[in-house]
Amino acid sequence: MAILSTGQRLKSGVCTTEIMVITAPQEDLDLTCGGAPMTSNGDESNVSLDPAFAEGTTIGKRYVNADGKLEILCVKPGQGTLAISGDRLKLKDSKKLPKTD
């Protein structure tokens, strides 16, 4: 578990996923990708991708937790699914721009 800070970059130890923290609450969070903890250097030896968390991430997409207090941006895609304490993060809906005529 760790306290995340805005602008922090993390890497998965089980796939190529890399993320940047956009907003985060000031509390300990267990952020995982592919079932393994995310770290600043992506080093997780002897850990493999959990098939239950292998839906993948998409570059340029933002992911949020259920209450919306955590928002992260995928800067490099991978095979792992992002989660907080086992709860999958959702893809953030894009905002509709106003129509101009």
Q: For residue 9, give both structure tokens.
A: 């970059």
Three-state DSSP class for residue 51: helix
What pTM, to 2 d.p., does this model score?
Answer: 0.86
Q: What is the sign, positive or negative, of the torsion defined by CA atoms of 76, 78, 83, 41?
A: negative
Residue with tokens 């839906």: 55
Q: By 3-state DSSP, what share of the chain in percent is helix, strand and coil, each rounded to 5?
A: 5, 35, 60
pLDDT band at 1 (very low <50, low <70, confident <90, very high): low
pLDDT in tens, 45-89: 678 899 999 999 999 999 999 988 999 999 999 999 999 999 999
pLDDT number for residue 16 = 93
Q: Are 78 and 17 in contact, with CB atoms under 8 Å apart? A: yes
Domain boundaries, the chain: 9-91
